[in-house]
Amino acid sequence: MLHNRAKYHLGQVVRHRKHPFRGVVFDVDPEFSNTEEWYESIPEDSRPSKKQPFYHLLAENDQSFYVAYVSEQNLVADYSGEPVDHPDIPDLFGAFEDGSYALHFQMN
């Protein structure tokens, strides 16, 4: 039985601890749930533990928008109060208020 509790919630704006991007959480895996190939592509000295929550983000940096998959240890809450401009946000979320986006619908 998994006992990992996610630190961040759906709709919350977060930023990467080491890389210059931020994003909105749109899904959470209780522990690593991507391919071994993806995991092995991370330099060994930077590879996070698989036994922690991993977050799917609608992410942005200065050059582009994309979907990111990030371990909890590499995220921090974003307290800038600034919205994320990812073009897919309106498909999943409503209004931006107090550092989070409201969900359009109830998740399971």
**pLDDT tens track of the chain, all 108 residues?**
456 689 999 999 999 999 999 999 999 999 999 999 999 999 999 899 999 999 999 999 999 999 999 999 999 999 999 999 999 999 999 999 988 999 876 655
Confirm whether 24 is domain-assigned: yes
**Structure confidence at residue 9 (pLDDT):** 95
Q: Is the CB of residue 78 less than 8 Å from the CB of residue 15?
A: yes
Confirm whether 42 is domain-assigned: yes
Evaluate the CA torsion angle 36, 44, 20, 30 in order and state its sign.
positive
Confirm whether 86 is domain-assigned: yes
**Structure confidence at residue 43 (pLDDT):** 92
Confirm whether 75 is domain-assigned: yes
Domains contained in the chain, number: 1
